[in-house]
């Protein structure tokens, strides 16, 4: 007889972290025109991207989310509790996005 792992199942021991379950909200971000910006001024884009990523990290984590992937010029984040307790009817991802939009420095007009 084969073990569950040999049949394609993921077997987790009692100490392994459990994946998120239940209602999940995903957020994906991207900087429009980033390739052109990198080509035009890589040094300035590097500084802007560092500032941008800090804003995203702070906004996502302060609203109960977790960034699970950086995509170069964006992030993929997940929120396990969809509602903000202090603001009924507002999702954590929407509240996080509002902070990101307010605090992300504008890079200037599209190139």
11-26: b or e for each residue (b if 16 or more CB lie within 10 Å)? eeeeeeeeeeeeeebe
For residue 26, being part of any structural domain is answered with: yes
For residue 35, being part of any structural domain is answered with: yes
Report the CATH number at residue 69.
3.30.70.1230
For residue 2, being part of any structural domain is answered with: no
> What's the total number of domains in the chain?
1
- The model carries a pTM of 0.63
For residue 4, being part of any structural domain is answered with: no
Q: Domain span at residue 54?
A: 18-103
For residue 9, being part of any structural domain is answered with: no
How confident is the prediction along the chain (111 residues), in pLDDT tens digits per residue?
Answer: 444 444 455 555 566 566 666 778 888 888 888 899 899 999 989 998 898 888 889 888 888 888 999 988 888 988 876 555 655 556 767 777 777 777 765 555 444
Q: How far is residue 58's CA from residue 37's CA, in Å, rounded to a whole number?
A: 24
């Amino acid at each position: 007889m084969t073990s569950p792992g040999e049949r394609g199942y993921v077997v987790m021991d009692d100490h392994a972290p459990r994946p998120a379950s239940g209602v999940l909200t995903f957020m994906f971000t991207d900087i429009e025109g980033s390739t052109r910006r990198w080509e035009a001024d890589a040094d300035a884009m590097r500084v802007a991207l560092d500032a941008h990523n800090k804003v995203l990290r702070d906004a996502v984590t302060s609203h109960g989310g977790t960034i699970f992937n950086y995509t170069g010029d964006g992030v993929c984040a997940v929120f396990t509790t969809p509602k903000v307790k202090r603001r009924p009817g507002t999702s954590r991802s929407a509240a996080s996005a509002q902070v990101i939009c307010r605090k992300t420095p504008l890079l200037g007009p599209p190139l």
